[in-house]
Amino acid sequence: MSKHPNPYGNIPDAELWSEAFARKQDEKDALSQLRSEFIIPTKGDLRNRRYGPLKKSTTEAAEADEDEESIYLCGNSLGLQPRRTREYVNRYLETWASKGVFGHFKELEDGLPPWLHLDDALKEQTAKLVGALPSEVVVMETLTANLHLLMSSFYKPTADRYKIIIEGKAFPSDHYAAQSQLAHHNIPLSALVTITPPSPSSPYLSTEHILSVISQHAATTALVLLPGIQFYSGQYFDIELITRHCHSLGLVVGWDLAHAVGNVPVKLHDWNVDFAAWCNYKYMNAGPGVIGGLFVHDHHGKVEDAQPPTEDGTHANHTGDATHDNDTKLIYRPRLSGWWGSDKNSRFRMENKFVPIPGASGFQLSNPSALDMTSVLASLDVFAKTDIESLRQRSLRLTAYLEERLLRYEGGPPPYKIITPMKPSERGAQLSVLLNPGLLDHILEYIEEHGVVVDERKPDVLRIAPAPLYNSFWDLHRFIVHFHEACKKAVTLAPITRKHHIDEPVVTANVVA
Ligand SMILES: *Cc1c(COP(=O)(O)O)cnc(C)c1O
């Protein structure tokens, strides 16, 4: 028995493998209804070479197949479209068409908040998702841009402390961002420390290992930047413990929550996270490349009047390395600024006096896209139908079911292994599957033909992500049926010519005639 018994572990094969079992799990779960909030593309829609939904087919059999919902398990890459998004965006378009510039301020009886206040309208709901105070979050810019903006404020290298610690398989954009921050400060690229797995056979990074690398470099490090959930392996890091460890060593730590937000409940405020950033198009479902979000802890977002020293000689503010603006006598954390980060009441006076909005909003630069924010609002209104803790409970069940089905391969050892941690607390919705070499293309071809959408990472990894808002047990059942059929076909087809990219002896392909 493993240390983390799967809740589906004791169900007999015949029952677990049945469609009826999957259907029953969906019926039992009230949150299954949230699927109807989304447009699930049909198999025909995906095959269609025109952008809209598919027109009806001629034969009945073809029609039945084409009308069946696709098996979309790729919400970690691009979330599906909520039905209400179109309605909200139409309202935005109508407001623009009928009100012009007044759309910025005019309170409408039936519309969305005026564009000028859309950022505030998003705060409350975003804050709930990431465990923050509303003042600690803002929807702005995009993920990589936000990482740069945050690093410009939080990465303050000195002669002694200048290194940036990231993980070895960091998402390329995060890697480039950290690298270019070093270059920007004229620091050699050797100052980029990467945490790599101790064993070449697995991408797993134990918390002890992460802490020990951080400790080892602490005396010369200025910033730690880590993902909440690792995009490739799906590993969910212990944000609270790692943050506490960094702070005990005097280090600032930032978190990239691209794969965590809308997926797992995080408590950024209580965990004392310094800063974080994310995008809103993966588990957040607000559309490709849509405006992102960021978090700056209350400690770091303060804007205070410069006070004369108090009687005991200390200053009344807590912002460590704050700046002092002689004009306005304000003390706040230095940052790269723009007009949208300045106080709303004086923003339009054009007096060239930057008065940062306290909290995360003070990090804004530009007038944000109202179209983008409208789309984010639609997505958040879907999340508002439940709460992230309940969603996580559903997600744990879906992922456990997927895992158990993957582990039970009919007729021998499977030609793949799961590289995502087995422990539920160490993963979100995604399971990454490392296929035996040479199988990926055959398998993808087969499952795509059958309406399955998953993410591939060449040469051998499939990432399968049941998004708890819209994926069902029935989706996972259909996925497994097609995937296992594809595996059985692929092992008879694929000559195993390449060496595995992770040098562990993998389970031998099941090439029975
Ligand atoms: C998706 C993702 C990105 C993408 O960044 P954009 O700036 O939105 O293009 C960056 N980092 C991580 C870890 C991601 O998962």
Q: State the total domains in the chain.
A: 2
> Do 143 and 59 share a structural domain?
no
For the CA of 231, the closest atom of ligand 1 is 15
The domain boundary, picked from 381, 409, 432, lies at: 381
Q: 225, 247, 248, 251: which is closest to 158 by C-alpha?
A: 251
Which of 139, 147, 173 has the most ligand 1 atoms within 8 A of CB, as the residue to mutate? 173
**Ligand 1 binding pocket includes 174 (Cβ within 6 Å):** yes
Distances (CA, A) of 446 to 217, 405, 484, 486, 498: 47, 19, 10, 6, 21
Q: What is the pLDDT of residue 431?
A: 98
Phi/psi at 340 (5° precision): -75, -15
Which of 76, 77, 78, 143 has the most ligand 1 atoms within 8 A of CB, as the residue to mutate? 143
User: Whole domain around residue 57: which residue ranges?
Assistant: 13-80+390-494
**Ligand 1 binding pocket includes 230 (Cβ within 6 Å):** no
Q: How far is residue 402's CA from residue 382's CA, in Å, rounded to a whole number?
A: 24
Q: Contact at 8 Å (CB) between 247 and 272?
A: yes
**Ligand 1 binding pocket includes 271 (Cβ within 6 Å):** no
Q: 460 a known binding residue?
A: no
For the CA of 170, the closest atom of ligand 1 is 13
Q: Using the structure block, give the residue that is written with the tokens 């929807």.
A: 139
Output the residue whose Cα is nearest ligand 1's atom 4: 143
Ligand 1 centroid from CA 291, angstroms:
12
For the CA of 145, the closest atom of ligand 1 is 7
What's the pTM value of the predicted model, to 2 decimals?
A: 0.91
- Other C-beta atoms lying within 10 Å of the C-beta of residue 68: 15
> Do 123 and 248 share a structural domain?
yes
Ligand 1 centroid from CA 131, angstroms:
21
Phi-psi region of 477 (alpha: psi -120 to 50; beta: other; left: phi over 0): alpha
Q: What is the pLDDT of residue 63?
A: 77
Q: Contact at 8 Å (CB) between 121 and 107?
A: no
> Do 461 and 409 share a structural domain?
yes
> Do 181 and 34 share a structural domain?
no
Q: Contact at 8 Å (CB) between 256 and 229?
A: no
Phi/psi at 74 (5° precision): -125, 25
Residue 355 lies in a domain: no
Q: What is the pLDDT of residue 1?
A: 42
User: What is the CATH number for 54?
Assistant: 3.90.1150.10
Residue 454 lies in a domain: yes
Q: What is the pLDDT of residue 140?
A: 97
The domain boundary, picked from 346, 381, 416, lies at: 381
Report the largest interatomic distance among the alpha carbons of the chain, rounded to a whole angstrom.
Answer: 87
Q: 29 a known binding residue?
A: no
Q: How far is residue 396's CA from residue 388's CA, in Å, rounded to a whole number?
A: 12
Phi/psi at 144 (5° precision): -65, -40
User: What is the CATH number for 243?
Assistant: 3.40.640.10
> Do 400 and 369 share a structural domain?
no
> Do 177 and 203 share a structural domain?
yes
Helices (H), 218-280: 239-248
Q: How far is residue 356's CA from residue 319's CA, in Å, rounded to a whole number?
A: 14
Q: 420 a known binding residue?
A: no
For the CA of 292, the closest atom of ligand 1 is 8
Residue 461 lies in a domain: yes
Q: 143 a known binding residue?
A: yes
Q: What is the pLDDT of residue 503?
A: 39
Helices (H), 340-415: 344-347, 370-383, 388-407
Residue 1 lies in a domain: no
Q: What is the pLDDT of residue 329?
A: 83
Say which DSSP state 69 is in.
B
Residue 503 lies in a domain: no
> Do 196 and 55 share a structural domain?
no
> Do 131 and 25 share a structural domain?
no
> Do 274 and 229 share a structural domain?
yes
Q: 130, 107, 39, 96: which is closest to 378 by C-alpha?
A: 39
**Ligand 1 binding pocket includes 403 (Cβ within 6 Å):** no
Ligand 1 centroid from CA 155, angstroms:
19
**Ligand 1 binding pocket includes 409 (Cβ within 6 Å):** no
Q: 144 a known binding residue?
A: yes
Q: How far is residue 391's CA from residue 383's CA, in Å, rounded to a whole number?
A: 9
Residue 325 lies in a domain: no
Say which DSSP state 356 is in.
B
**Ligand 1 binding pocket includes 290 (Cβ within 6 Å):** no
> Do 23 and 161 share a structural domain?
no
Q: 367 a known binding residue?
A: yes
Residue 346 lies in a domain: no
> Do 374 and 397 share a structural domain?
no
For the CA of 146, the closest atom of ligand 1 is 7
Q: Contact at 8 Å (CB) between 469 and 38?
A: yes
Q: What is the pLDDT of residue 512?
A: 32
> Do 127 and 226 share a structural domain?
yes
Q: How far is residue 304's CA from residue 274's CA, in Å, rounded to a whole number?
A: 19
* pLDDT in single tens digits along all 513 residues of the chain: 445 789 999 999 999 999 999 999 999 999 999 999 999 999 999 988 888 776 666 667 777 888 999 999 999 999 999 999 999 999 999 999 999 999 999 998 887 899 999 988 899 999 999 999 999 999 999 999 999 999 999 999 999 999 999 999 999 999 999 999 999 999 999 999 999 999 888 999 999 999 999 999 999 999 999 999 999 999 999 999 999 999 999 999 999 999 999 999 999 999 999 999 999 999 999 999 999 999 999 999 999 988 655 555 454 444 444 554 445 589 999 999 999 999 988 877 778 889 999 999 999 999 999 999 999 999 999 999 999 999 999 999 999 999 999 999 998 899 999 999 999 999 999 999 999 999 999 999 999 999 999 999 999 999 999 999 999 999 999 999 999 999 999 999 855 454 444 434 343 333 333
